[in-house]
Structure formats: structure tokens, C-alpha cells
Structure 1
Amino acid sequence: TSKKDSHVYDSILLKLEKNIVEYDVYSTDVVDPVDLLEPGVIVDVDVSRLPDAARDEVVSYVCRQVLQRAMAGRILPTLIVIEEAHLYLRSDVETAAKQAIVRIAREGRKYGVGLLIVSQRPKRLDPDVLSQMNSLCVLKIMQPEDQNYVRQYSEWLTEEMAAALPTLERGEAILLGEWVRMPVAVLIDKHEGKRRGTTISAAKSWLKAKNSREREVARQVEEEEMVKAAESYF
């Protein structure tokens, strides 16, 4: 290689070494979320801010580890909840996360691993997974294609029920499947705890930023006036 190429390689190595040290890549203090599982405890693995590839790997790892440990009898029965499931279970894409989730849908119940998937767009879900769901909690669905898709994979949802889905109010749902003897409409209790997944208010965010800037400007003006007062005093 030329001296120019060698210089480029050295620069890249220096940057890599710097990042390895800065981000503590080889740290042994990292906590495995699966190790936190114990009776009565909810382990929340938030991957919402990760890039798609990293998010897929994390979801795949957690699902595979839970199933493997359950098969070995190393953990108690566990329920895995997949929020925004359409991000991992698209019918037209094969990913590591999807493979791990599909395997749990097929085999998990034999080893005490349950699966709960949550999605606002059921039409995007892989039919192989949706067909494995024994019970459904169907909330308001506006899109006809989503309604038809759910009907296609749920023998309990009648045409009349599907027609009523767009009219459901917040908190209203229809339960279908093995957890009820017959389809039943329910009103879900309002969650009074910490809210997550709600729509961000742009107006409130802008107002908060505006107030923060105004406070910062006021603080700077006050500091400048104090400096001027001190200079005139001395």
C-alpha cells in the first residue's frame, strides 16, 4: 500500500480505538435483561431509539434466550410482550427477530413461554404468527383492509363485529378466542400510572423550548448587569 493509504488506515484505527475506549465496548458491567427475570417482575426492554438493525438484534437475542432457558428449565413460565409488532413481523421481510418470535409462537407454549403481540396495523403482521394467536383483544380499527385481515385469521370475528370496530370508543374492545366462551365487548380500566407511547404535543414542546430560551436569555442579561455593576463599583 502507498503512504497515503497507510495514513488513512492509521487514522481509521485511531478513531476505532478512541470509540472503543469512549463507549466502553468491552465493558463487563453490561446487564443481560434476561437475567433480571424473576417471579412477579416486569422487565421492560426499550429499543425504540435504536437503529433498525440494532433493534432487531436485541429483540432476537431476548426472545431466543428466554426460549432456550425455558427449554432447559432454567426460568419459570414467562410472557413476552412485543409492542409495535408490525415492525418485527412483516410478512414480506425475514429478520432474526421475526424468526425468533415465530419460533416462540409455534413452540413456546410447550415450554411455558407465552407471546402477546400488540399492533395498530394487523394487516402488516405475518399470517403465520397471527394464526397462532389463540385469543384476541380487538380495539378500534378504522381501515377496512385491517378489519378483513383480522377476520381472515379469526373464526370468532363476525361480519357484524367487524363493522362495529370503527365505532369503538377509547378503552372499548372486543375479546375473542380461548379466554372467553363467546365474543364479548369490554371496557378497559384507564391506566392511572406513568403514560408511555402517547402522541407528543408539538405545541407544548415548542412552548417549553421557548420558555427555556427566555430563561437562559434572562439569566445571561442578569449576569452581564452584575458584571457591569461590579466593574463600576471597583
Structure 2
Amino acid sequence: MYDYADRIKVFRNPNSTGRYSEEELDNVLSYTIRFSDLSGEDVCEIIGIPEAWSNIKNAIVKAINSLKGDMGDAYTQEHFIEILERSKDQHSQRALKYARKIKRFKVFGAITTPIDEMLKPAQVSVVDLSGLNDASMDYIVYRILSDAFYRVASQQFEYPVFLFIEEAHKFIPPRNIKRMSREIITTIAAEGRKFGVFMTLISQRPSKIDSDALSQCNSQIILKISNPLDQRAIRESSERLGESLLRDLPGLNIGEAVIVGEITKAPVMVKIRKRITKEGGADIDVIKMLRMAREEAEIEERISKERYESLSTEDSMWSEI
């Protein structure tokens, strides 16, 4: 048992494609958002309705607004589909084909997991967003970050909060790409420290992160970077990274990193130890898996051959009788 393992909570959405089952992990909790929390515009984003499809978008927004007026917060995905099915409006019927996509996203269910379940003293909360499309992940990140920042800024939660955003380029890309979570990430990056909210952006493609957000990162831990665009993004966001260190980045080995910024007086190179917990996000070992597949195929082939030879022997014995 690892120290502090009981303080780690994994919030897993119903669409999760995580490689470990709940039986293999401790402290796994369900994460869902009540479907009725979504606005009509949110639903359009999640099911992929383009801005130009104004008639279909208006039909969906109208259906959601009608449900809110008639049922308050008590309606579900099924009610949403039903109201479009009953409508004789041609745009509602066209919208129906796209609206049915919402059933794929079981994370939007009957209840919302309270932010207070995630914000607890000395607790690490891991939110598993695997199995969702980018729009769903964007909405969930927006919700969690907004709720967490409000709790701390309003002093409803009195302890510092540290936020780690994996695949950050998905949530705060360059400004020509629309993202719901952009504003709250930018706000936390600029103002979070004075309230006690600290944020770490994690990405393998820093060039795909909004340059303003990247420049707000006071310290950087940089692993091997070969792409020239990513190198340029790092150089432009960090005044303390010299050209010589920048040239060294493509040659870093696994686990080696350069640390620059306010966290250290001068740039330093470090060797990060191997993890002691289970791996959750690395690529599979293709060579190992192919070797296992070949071994399994050879075993099955041998069993089939032995079974065939056994049956042939029995047939021969019956022929002699």
C-alpha cells in the first residue's frame, strides 16, 4: 500500500476507456453531469452542430428551452429526443438525427457530481475524461475549473488548490479555435495565484497552446522537444531559456528535463526517477504485444493440430473395426 493512496480519488465517467478496471483501482467514484444542466447551445456543441446550421441549432435550443419551462431540471436525454420526435417542424425532424448522438455520452445523466466531492483537504482528485469527444471534455473542464475557482475565490474552500490539466492544447488552443474552457483557464492563469488557485498546463505540443496562456506559466519543466514549432513556442514564452539549452532539448533522454523559471534561480537539468505507481497513460509496448499474439496463435495452432490428429486416429480405429 502506497503512502497517501487512500487520499487519491478517481472520478471516472461512464464512457471511460481507462485501461484498469474498477476492481484493480481503489477509491473509484462515478462522475456525471445532469443533462438538464446543459443549455441548448451546449448540446449543439457536444453533438457537433456547426454554427452555419442555424435552423437545426434553433430547433434544438427551442426544444431545450421548452423542456426547461415545462419540467424545470427534471428532464433527461429521453425527454429531449421525445420532444423532437413529436414536433412536426421540418427543422426539428432534421435535428433529430443529430440529437440522437447525445445518447452516446452517458456522462450526461440524471445527477451532477458535486464539486465538493473533489475539493477536500489533502485530497488528490483525478478526473477521467477518456471516451468522450473534445466538445464534451471541453464543457466538463469548463464546469470543474469554474466551480473550483468560485469556491476558492469566494472563500467557501479555504485551502490552496492545485490544478493539473493534461493535454492542455485541447482546452486552450490558439484564439482562432473556439473553446468554452478558454476564459476560465486564462483567468486562473492570470489571477488564480492571489486567491490560492495554482495551475499546471501539461502538453506534448506547446506550440498548440495559446501563447498568452503559455507566457503566464512562471516556471517550465521541459522534456525532450524535437519539433521546431514547439521549440519556438517555448523560447518565446520563457525569457530564461538560453539558445544553448534550447539546442539541447532534442537530445534529452527519457526522464531528463530542463527546469527554468521562478521555481529555480538558474536553469537546471534534472533526471526524473521512474514512477512507482501503475502506468496509466503510456503507449502500449507494441513489440511485446505482437510477441504475445504470436505465441498465443502458435498455441492455438498446436492445439488444433493435436485435435485433428486425435480425430484422425479415432476414425482409423473405427474403420478397422
- Do the structures match in fold with TM over 0.5? yes
Give the aligned partner of residue 187 of structure 1: 271
Query: Hey, which bits of structure 1, 4+ residues long, moved more than 4 A?
Result: 10-13, 23-26, 202-212
The yes-or-no answer on 1:66 pairing with 2:148 is yes
From the superposition, tell whether residues 108 and 209 of structure 1 become closer, same or farther in structure 2 (CA, over 3 Å).
farther
Question: Match for 1:52 among 134, 143, 148?
Answer: 134
Q: State the alpha-carbon separation in 2 of the partners of residues 24 and 182 from structure 1.
A: 45
The yes-or-no answer on 1:84 pairing with 2:160 is no
From the superposition, tell whether residues 153 and 24 of structure 1 become closer, same or farther in structure 2 (CA, over 3 Å).
closer
**Per-residue CA distance 1:94-124 (angstroms, 9 max, x = gap):** 3111222111101111110001001111111
Give the aligned partner of residue 252 of structure 2: 168
Q: Which amino acid aligns with 2:213?
A: V
Question: TM-score under structure 1 normalisation?
Answer: 0.76
CA RMSD in angstroms comes to 3.3
Following superposition of structure 1 onto structure 2, how do residues 58-207 of structure 1 map, counting pairs within 5 Å?
A: 58-75=140-157, 76-91=159-174, 92-202=176-286, 207=292
Question: Match for 2:119 among 37, 43, 65?
Answer: 37
Count of residues in Structure 1 that have an aligned counterpart in Structure 2:
206
Q: SS at the partner of 2:278?
A: coil
The CA deviation at 1:205 is: 5.2
**Per-residue CA distance 1:186-234 (angstroms, 9 max, x = gap):** 111211111121012345556469959x6xx99xx9xxxxxxxxxxxxx
Q: SS at the partner of 2:269?
A: strand
The CA deviation at 1:33 is: 4.6
From the superposition, tell whether residues 196 and 39 of structure 1 become closer, same or farther in structure 2 (CA, over 3 Å).
same
Question: TM-score under structure 2 normalisation?
Answer: 0.57
1:33–1:43: 8 Å Cα contact kept in structure 2? no
Q: Point out which structure has higher relative CO (alpha carbons under 8 A, 6+ apart).
A: 2
Q: State the alpha-carbon separation in 1 of the partners of residues 142 and 295 from structure 2.
A: 41
The yes-or-no answer on 1:9 pairing with 2:85 is yes
Q: SS at the partner of 2:128?
A: coil
Q: Which consecutive residues of structure 1, in runs of 5 or more, have no partner in the other structure?
A: 1-7, 222-234
Q: Which consecutive residues of structure 2, in runs of 5 or more, have no partner in the other structure?
A: 1-83, 88-92, 308-321
Q: SS at the partner of 1:123?
A: helix
1:85–1:119: 8 Å Cα contact kept in structure 2? yes
Q: State the alpha-carbon separation in 2 of the partners of residues 62 and 36 from structure 1.
A: 9
